[in-house]
Each structure stands twice: as structure tokens, then as C-alpha cells.
């Protein structure tokens, strides 16, 4: 029981500490931190559009956080979520804008194809590791470059709106019947958020209820023992990497199909969601539901930052500092754990 309390407390304290440190920084800027945080909160949660904005910001982070966390449970560090997001987005943009086929042109089938694109792209890294022993950190970083250049090429040539003479590197808008439904009127919050939550449940279910998840975790914790027990560790690595890539790819699909980028793939639309996913997974303790909470927190910071900048005149970049401090503190969690254990220990004795 004490362990559960601890693993819940560490992220909470990390967030609190980060906010306090940033408050000090805001004071040094000559601004009022309480006022700044008030507008931060207001911008994140006050009213329908604020909440919608928080969730819109959170949605891609849920996907990429799940991707990193899922791979991590198999003992794999997926740095390549960025590339997988791009591949998912490109797949959605290409299929949604160019394919004229009633079988393909429906949301469900789009999702399946996007998942397949992410699965295959990430499974390359899994295959390289399983068969040739290439470390997944190296191969996923390299594959990120492949994806980034692929994006450049696709948006400037085959997918470019208006052909080669088109005005800017972007794909044409996707057809209406593959666009994600809007779930909150008057905002951009779309069905992609619901799919993200479903993905979290699916990830949890695979990891905790299925034979496959049991085997993936066994490989992640102790591959030689898993191999000894007859588990095919190569296939489990490839599968875990592929599933991870599918989650990431759905983030790309959500940005394109969910109306965030005017229903099209704009150059640079995928920002740094892949890398932010690492932070989200870290903060969520690699637990699917923890990832959802962490992603919403990061989403809230981003949504609130704009209002904070506008109303309190505190630059929105401050929240990047908050995020950075959170990551450092979580990564150095053992310091906390030690202090907390002593605290609980003394309490138990008293």
C-alpha cells in the first residue's frame, strides 16, 4: 500500500515543486506569480472553450505518451514516436485526400490503415533489434530523420496541394466523410480524443489481461528468463514496437483528420509531440491511465499559457521551464523516494 502512495506522490510533488520554482522565476521577472497562475488555471479550465483547448492540446500527447509507455513495458525506449506520428499523419492525409473508394473512405478503415502504417514503420526498429541486435534508441532516431525527410518530400511533391506549382507545402484537405466528428460544439475538440481514451484502455487491457501483455512484460523485465520459458522474445519485441508505433501514428491522424490543421497536413503540423510523449510517459509512470492524466496536465499548461501571457504579461515559455523541471525531478525520482520513505518510516514509528 505504501508503495502505491509513493508512486502517486512522486509525480504530484514534482509538479508542485516545478510550479514553486517557476513562481520564483516569475517574481524575478517582476511579475506577480499568483496572478500568473490564476490566469494559467483560468485559461486551462474556465469555461467550455478553455477545457476544449486543454483536451485538444492533450490528445496527441496521450497517443505519444501511450506509445512510449507501452514500448517501455517491453524494455524498449521508443525515441521514434516523432517519426511514427509523421507517418500516421502522412498516411491519413494521403488516404483521406486522394483515395476515392467507399471501402477506404470511412473513419474506421482509415484508423486501421493509419495503425498499420505506424505499426510497420516502428516494427522496422523492432525487427532490427530482434534480428540484428541494433539498439532501438539508435534505430528510432535514424528513422525519425527518414520520416522528417519523407514529410518534406511528400508535401512538396506527391501530396502537394495544387500539384508541383501549388502555393505552399501542404496537402489538400481530406474528404468530409473521413473527418473526425466534433464532440463539443463551437470548438475543435473531436472524436480523436475519445479514440485516445479508448487506446489507453486498450493498452491497459493488453498489458494486464492478455497472454501477449504478460509475455511482453516478461521480456521487458527479464528477457533471458522469458526466452527460457519458451517465449519467442524476437516476435514480442517486434510486436511491442509495432503496437507502440500504432499509438503514435494515431496522433498524426488526429491532427490531420480532427480539423486542427484545417483538415490537411501542413508542414510542421506534428511539432514535437513524439518527444513530449517521453515526458508524458515519464510523468505517468508508464501506466496507461497515468499517461492520460499527465497528458491532460501538459495540455492544461499549454492551453493556460496563452491566457497567462495575454492577461498577466508573463511569457508563455515559462511553462516550458515548468515541464523541464518536472522531467528532471521525475528522472531523479530516487532522491524524492528516499526522502519520502524516511518521512513515512518515521511516521510509522511515531
Partner 1 sequence: MSEYMLQMSAISKSFGDVLANDNIDLAVKKGEVRAIVGENGAGKSTLMKILNGLYPPDSGTIFVNGEEVSIATPGAAARLGIGMVYQHFMLVPTLSVAENMILGVEPGRYGMLDMNAARDQVNRTSNQYGLKIDPDAKVSSLSVGMQQRVEILKILFKGARILVFDEPTAVLTPQEVKELYKIIRKLIDDGKTILFITHKLNEVLEIADMITVLRQGKYAGELAVADATKEKIATMMVGRTVLFDLKKIPVKPGDAVLEIKNLFVNSDKGLPAVENLSLSVRAGEIVGIAGVDGNGQTELVEALNGLRKIENGKILIDGKTISGKRPRAICEAGISHIPEDRHKRAAVGQFPVAYNLVLGVHYSRYAKGFRKLLLDFAAIFGDAEKNCKKYDIRPARPEKSFFKLSGGNQQKVVVARELEKEHRVMIASQPTRGVDIGAIEAIHNMLLEEKAQMKAILVVSAELSEIMNLSDRIAVMYEGQIIGIMDRKDATEEKIGILMTGGKLNA
Q: Can you give the binding site for partner 1, defined by CB under 8 A?
A: 209-212, 214-215, 217-218, 221-222, 224-232, 341
CB of 220 to partner 1, least distance (A): 9
What is the nearest approach in angstroms of partner 1 to the Cβ of residue 337?
A: 12
* DSSP symbol at 47: S
CB of 200 to partner 1, least distance (A): 19
Q: How far apart are CA 67 and CA 331, in angstroms?
A: 19
Q: Are 117 and 133 in contact (CB under 8 A)?
A: no
| Euclidean distance between CA atoms 13 and 342, whole angstroms | 15
Nearer to partner 1 (CB atom), residue 48 or residue 131: 131
Helix (H, G, I), strand (E, B) or coil at 182: strand
Nearer to partner 1, 45 or 214 (CB): 214
CA dihedral sign, ordered 278, 279, 280, 285: positive
Shortest separation between residue 133's beta carbon and partner 1, angstroms: 13
Among candidates 123, 126, 54, 67, which has minimal Cα distance to 288? Answer: 67
Q: Distance (Å, rounded) from C-alpha 315 to C-alpha 51? A: 21
For residues 348 and 343, what is the distance between their CA atoms, to the nearest angstrom? 9
- Tracing cell 509531440 back to the chain, one arrives at 273
Closest distance to partner 1 from the beta carbon of 231 (Å): 7
Place of cell 508512486: 7
Q: CB of residue 347 vs partner 1: minimum separation in angstroms?
A: 14
CB-nearer residue toward partner 1: 185 or 349: 349
Least Å from the CB of residue 201 to partner 1: 15
CB closer to partner 1 out of 6 and 194: 6
Return the number of the residue (70 or 193) whose C-beta is nearest partner 1.
70
Which of 145/343 has CB closer to partner 1? Answer: 343
Q: Which grid cell sits at 217?
A: 512484460
CB nearer to partner 1: pick between 149 and 210? 210
Q: Half-sphere exposure of 38 toward its Cβ, with a 13 Å CA cutoff?
A: 8
Give the 3-state secondary structure of residue 190. strand
Tally Cβ neighbours within 10 Å of residue 250.
32
Amino acid at each position: 500500500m505504501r508503495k502505491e502512495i509513493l508512486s502517486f506522490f512522486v509525480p504530484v510533488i514534482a509538479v508542485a515543486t516545478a510550479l514553486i520554482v517557476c513562481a520564483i522565476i516569475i517574481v524575478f521577472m517582476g511579475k506577480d506569480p499568483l496572478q500568473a497562475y490564476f490566469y494559467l488555471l483560468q485559461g486551462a479550465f474556465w469555461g467550455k472553450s478553455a477545457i476544449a483547448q486543454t483536451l485538444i492540446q492533450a490528445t496527441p500527447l496521450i497517443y505519444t505518451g501511450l506509445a512510449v509507455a507501452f514500448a517501455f513495458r517491453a524494455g524498449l525506449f521508443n525515441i521514434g514516436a516523432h517519426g511514427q506520428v509523421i507517418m500516421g499523419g502522412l498516411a491519413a492525409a494521403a488516404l483521406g485526400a486522394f483515395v476515392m473508394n467507399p471501402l477506404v473512405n470511412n473513419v474506421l478503415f482509415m484508423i486501421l490503415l493509419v495503425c498499420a502504417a505506424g505499426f510497420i514503420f516502428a516494427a522496422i526498429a523492432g525487427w532490427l533489434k530482434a534480428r540484428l541486435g541494433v539498439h532501438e534508441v539508435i534505430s528510432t532516431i535514424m528513422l525519425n530523420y527518414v520520416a522528417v525527410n519523407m514529410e518534406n518530400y511528400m508535401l512538396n511533391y506527391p501530396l502537394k496541394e495544387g500539384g508541383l506549382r501549388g502555393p505552399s507545402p501542404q496537402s489538400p484537405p481530406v474528404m468530409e466523410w473521413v473527418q473526425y466528428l466534433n464532440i463539443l460544439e463551437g470548438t475543435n475538440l473531436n472524436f480523436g480524443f475519445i479514440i485516445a481514451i479508448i487506446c489507453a484502455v486498450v493498452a491497459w487491457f493488453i498489458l494486464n489481461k492478455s497472454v501477449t501483455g504478460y509475455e511482453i512484460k516478461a521480456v521487458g523485465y527479464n528477457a533471458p528468463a522469458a526466452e527460457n520459458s519458451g517465449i519467442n522474445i524476437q516476435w514480442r519485441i517486434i510486436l511491442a514496437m509495432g503496437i507502440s508505433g500504432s499509438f503514435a501514428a494515431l496522433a498524426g491522424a488526429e491532427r490531420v483528420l480532427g480539423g486542427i490543421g484545417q483538415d490537411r497536413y501542413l508542414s510542421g503540423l506534428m511539432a514535437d509531440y513524439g518527444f513530449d510523449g517521453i515526458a508524458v510517459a515519464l510523468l505517468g509512470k508508464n501506466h496507461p491511465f497515468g499517461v492520460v492524466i499527465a497528458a491532460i496536465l501538459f495540455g492544461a499548461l499549454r492551453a493556460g499559457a496563452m491566457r497567462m501571457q495575454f492577461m498577466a504579461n508573463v511569457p508563455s515559455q515559462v511553462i516550458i521551464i515548468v515541464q523541464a523541471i518536472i522531467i528532471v525531478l521525475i528522472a531523479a525520482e530516487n532522491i524524492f523516494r528516499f526522502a519520502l520513505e524516511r518521512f513515512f518510516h518515521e511516521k510509522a514509528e511515531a
